[in-house]
Amino acid sequence: MKNSLNIIVNEIQYLIRGKKISEIINLETDNIYNKSAASVIIKKYIDKNCLYNLEVLKDYKILLKFIPVNSEYKCYEAMSFSNSSLYNFIFEDWDSKDPLETSSLKKQLNLNFLFIPIIKVKKKGVFNNYSDWEIGDLSLWRPNYNELKWIGKEWNRAKKTIRQGVKLKMQKHGKSFRTTNNLPKQSETDFIHLRPHGKNSFDYDIPYLKHTNGAVEITKQSFWLNKSFINLLLNNYKWKMNLKEK
């Protein structure tokens, strides 16, 4: 299994590493201006040209994650997981052996994350032209025991806050106001944090709203990997061509 995983990642690294988006884009069918355009283009290129298509990757629990980075491999944004009602977290347990009770985040971490950095230049909040975007060195990460333990501690901290009741506060933001909360923020954690992940600012977490008898009207949230943690993963798990089992 591990040797097969090495072979697959080697193939993908050899296929796309160092290529620019302009080399693999199909200008007749690909829309580069969509938010997820780069990831869609690279996936299509892998599926068409790699010996191991996207369906094979699923068999080996390989999840492709596209990370916009600068030339020093510092990412521009955190990495999201799927959202779930805060109400569900109350009944989950990080260390449970029962699949029905196990944290949904821990289940989502039970994968081989293949990070594909897309090197871009950002000036005054604007990225350079897509034709200059380049695919960098891949990194393969599967959370080890210690990493899961550290992430679990921060997950339990978030769960405690949710069980006690999320506190909302209106704060002035420019010429208007915005609602803030006391869920763990990226600046307060080392690995994960909670932040909005809904369709829009009116995509509310209805189950949690009902649980709090209408007291906490909060948009749907999800866990995100902190940018600083992603930077460490990109560096510490950078892929080296290897056909042997470790």
Check pLDDT > 80 for residue 6: yes
How high is the pLDDT of residue 27? 76
191 occurs within a structural domain: yes
Name the residue range of residue 87's domain: 2-236
Instruction: Find the CATH number of the domain harbouring 19.
Output: 3.40.600.10
Instruction: Please determine, for residue 153, whether its predicted confidence score (pLDDT) is greater than 50.
Output: yes
Structural domain contains residue 215: yes
pLDDT score of 232: 97
Q: pLDDT tens, 66-88?
A: 999 999 999 999 999 999 899 99
Say whether pLDDT at 143 is over 60: yes
pLDDT of residue 176: 81
At 192-246, the pLDDT tens digits run 999 999 899 899 999 999 999 999 999 999 999 999 999 999 999 999 876 544 4
Residue 244 lies in a domain: no
Residue 242: predicted pLDDT? 60
Q: What is this structure's pTM?
A: 0.91
Q: What percent of the chain has pLDDT over 70?
A: 97
Structural domains counted in the chain: 1
Return the amino acid letter for 243. L
Task: Categorize the per-residue pLDDT at 152 as very low, low, confident or very high, splitting at 50, 70 and 90.
Answer: very high
For residue 44, is it left (φ>0), alpha (ψ between -120 and 50) or beta?
alpha
Mind listing the pLDDT tens digit for each residue in 12-24?
999 999 999 999 9
Long-range contacts of 151-157 (CB under 8 A, 24+ apart): 151/105, 151/109, 151/191, 151/192, 152/94, 152/95, 152/103, 152/106, 154/184, 154/189, 154/190, 154/191, 154/192, 154/193, 155/94, 155/103, 155/105, 155/106, 155/192, 155/223, 156/94, 157/184, 157/189
Average pLDDT value for residue range 128-151: 95
Please tell me the distance from the alpha carbon of residue 92 to that of residue 74, in angstroms, as a whole number.
33
In a domain, residue 246? The reply is: no
In a domain, 243, yes or no: no
Q: Are 70 and 76 in contact (CB under 8 A)?
A: yes
The pLDDT assigned to 1 comes to 67
User: Mind giving me the DSSP string for 210-244?
Assistant: HHTTTS---B-EEEEE-HHHHHHHHHHTB-----S
Mean pLDDT value across residues 35-50 = 91
Say if residue 110's pLDDT is above 90.
Answer: yes
Residue found by looking up tokens 């040209």 in the block: 49
Q: What is the pLDDT of residue 5?
A: 93
Confidence band of 26 (pLDDT split at 50, 70, 90): confident
* Residue 245 lies inside a defined structural domain of this protein: no
Q: CA dist 156 to 133, 153, 228, Å?
A: 39, 5, 20
Q: Worst-scoring range by mean pLDDT, 130-139, 166-175, 216-225? A: 166-175
State the chain's mean pLDDT as an integer.
92
Residue 241 forms part of a structural domain: no
In a domain, 169, yes or no: yes
pLDDT class of 45 with cuts at 50, 70, 90: very high
The answer on pLDDT for 46 being more than 70 is yes
